[in-house]
């Protein structure tokens, strides 16, 4: 028996709650599954058993301390889709035979890294 039940979510701080909610719900098209406007909290289902949440705060640290990592089928196709929405990709790299990576940020500078496995 494990000391924990299951993974629930990863949350990130955001300064402009409504702008961030729009970004995750409309731009990235994640499903909003729970919101508490009184506490500036919203949760988005991104895959079975995995959620991302945002929490409105007065200020955030200017230097991100981590990243949300999303696995993608085809990094190039994902990049085209995101660019079509005006979302800029940076830090694109490949570790031969292992993984392709690229990053984007949400409106508050939180890093979202895309990962395409090259392992067969």
If asked whether residues 72 and 90 sit together in one domain, one would say yes
If asked whether residues 49 and 17 sit together in one domain, one would say yes
Structure tokens at 78: 């994902």
Overall number of domains in the chain? 2
Low-confidence ranges of the chain (pLDDT < 70): 1, 3-5, 60-65
Supply the pLDDT for residue 58: 86
List pLDDT tens digits, range 7-40: 788 999 999 999 999 999 999 999 999 999 998 9
Give the CATH number, domain containing residue 91: 3.10.180.10
Supply the pLDDT for residue 1: 63
Supply the pLDDT for residue 49: 87
If asked whether residues 53 and 76 sit together in one domain, one would say no
Query: DSSP letters of the chain?
Result: --SS----EEEEEESSHHHHHHIIIIIS-PEEEEEEGGGTEEEEEEETTEEEEEEE-S---SS---EEEEE-S-HHHHHHHHHHTT---EEEEEETTTEEEEEEE-TT--EEEEEEE---
Domain that holds residue 110: 66-120
């Amino acid at each position: 028996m494990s000391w924990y039940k299951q993974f629930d979510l990863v949350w990130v701080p955001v300064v402009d709650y409504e702008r961030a909610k729009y970004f995750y719900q409309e731009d990235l098209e994640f499903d909003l599954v729970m919101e508490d406007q009184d506490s500036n909290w919203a949760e988005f289902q991104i895959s079975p058993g995995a959620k991302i949440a945002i929490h409105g705060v007065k200020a955030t640290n200017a230097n991100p301390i981590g990243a949300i990592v999303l696995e993608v089928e085809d990094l190039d196709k994902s990049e085209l889709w995101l660019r079509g929405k005006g979302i800029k990709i940076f830090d694109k790299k490949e570790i031969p035979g292992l993984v392709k990576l690229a990053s984007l940020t949400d409106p508050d500078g939180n890093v979202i890294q895309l990962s395409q496995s090259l392992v067969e």
